[in-house]
Amino acid sequence: MSEPVLEVCGVCKYFPGVQALNKVDLKLYKGEILAVIGENGAGKSTLMKVLGGVYNPDQGEILYGGKKVTINSVQRATKLGIALIHQELNLSDNLDIAANVFLGREPYKMGPLRLIDRNRINEDTAKILRRLNVDCSPKTIVRDLPIGQQQMVEIAKVLSINACILIMDEPTSSLSKSETVQLFRVMKELKSQGVSIIYISHRLGDGVNPSG
């Protein structure tokens, strides 16, 4: 078997009066969906925030591509291609899909006025939506989307920065059954494209469905 794209070795994390993580080991391979299942308070989200650069580990090490790395910020995680999709969606619902996908990273047209290149944003967003099999116009206002498609917008955002590792924290918690089926379908498609996914849930059944 090839070496892991991401490896966690003996990671510990402490908060006042609480040891949230105790010598955690984890290996993630390219094109793998790895389910992390456990009850609330088990430390799942803490581990993922360590990998996403939100928290710094107190002990242990993280290897990326076989090399030890320090992920001390979200920006550093993003540079490595690691993206954390939180349980609470972080979207501007008054903007359209394309504006959300490229929010804060808008390309500009040449010229003194530095106008946002809307054509490029729409075209690039449309490509990502096709990759996710989402049949929506990039110009659709986010508030008009059902929650399942809003989650696809979140995934589109991280794919737009060429993330190769997606960390999904309780993604089905507010989805209907049909929306959950669609999410799993998209995850399998991303897996086939070589994207690695860490899927966090407290639902034991979810540990079977994502990669099944």
Provide the pLDDT for residue 50.
95
CA angle, 101 as apex, 97 and 102 as ends, to 5°? 120
Provide the pLDDT for residue 205.
59
Write down the mean pLDDT value for the chain.
88
Provide the pLDDT for residue 182.
84
pLDDT for 17 beyond 60: yes
- Spatial separation of the C-alpha atoms in residues 115 and 107, rounded to whole Å: 9
Structural domains of the chain, count: 1
pLDDT for 190 beyond 80: yes
Residue 1 lies in a domain: no
Q: What is the dihedral of CA 37, 42, 46, 52, to 10 degrees?
A: -10
Per residue in 98-134, pLDDT (tens digit) is 999 999 888 888 777 788 889 999 999 999 999 888 8
Tally of helices (H runs) and strands (E runs) in the chain: 6, 8
Provide the pLDDT for residue 122.
95
Task: Report the DSSP pairing between strands 196-201 and 165-169.
Answer: parallel
Are 118 and 109 in contact by the 8 Å Cβ rule? The answer is no
Per residue in 30-52, pLDDT (tens digit) is 999 999 988 877 888 899 999 99
Which residue range forms the structural domain that includes residue 12?
6-207
Single pTM value for the model: 0.84
Alpha-carbon distances, residue 118 vs 90, 91, 127, 149, 165 (angstroms): 22, 19, 14, 22, 28
Tell me the pLDDT band of 209, cut-offs 50, 70 and 90.
Answer: low
Task: Count CB neighbours of 117 within 10 A.
Answer: 16
User: What's the mean pLDDT in 154-163?
Assistant: 89
- b/e burial code for range 80-90 (CB count within 10 A of at least 16 → b): bbbbbbbeebe
CATH of the domain at 61: 3.40.50.300
Q: What residues pair up with 68 in beta bridges, in sequence order?
A: 63
Provide the pLDDT for residue 5.
95
Residues 6+ apart with CB under 8 A from 185: 133
Per residue in 73-106, pLDDT (tens digit) is 999 999 999 998 887 788 999 999 999 999 988 8
Residue 125 lies in a domain: yes
Tokens of 171: 């993604």
Percent of the chain with pLDDT over 70: 94
Position 124, amino acid: D
Alpha-carbon distances, residue 147 vs 45, 51, 144 (angstroms): 21, 26, 9
Task: Report the DSSP pairing between strands 6-15 and 18-28.
Answer: antiparallel
pLDDT for 210 beyond 70: no
Residue 39 lies in a domain: yes
Residue 212 lies in a domain: no
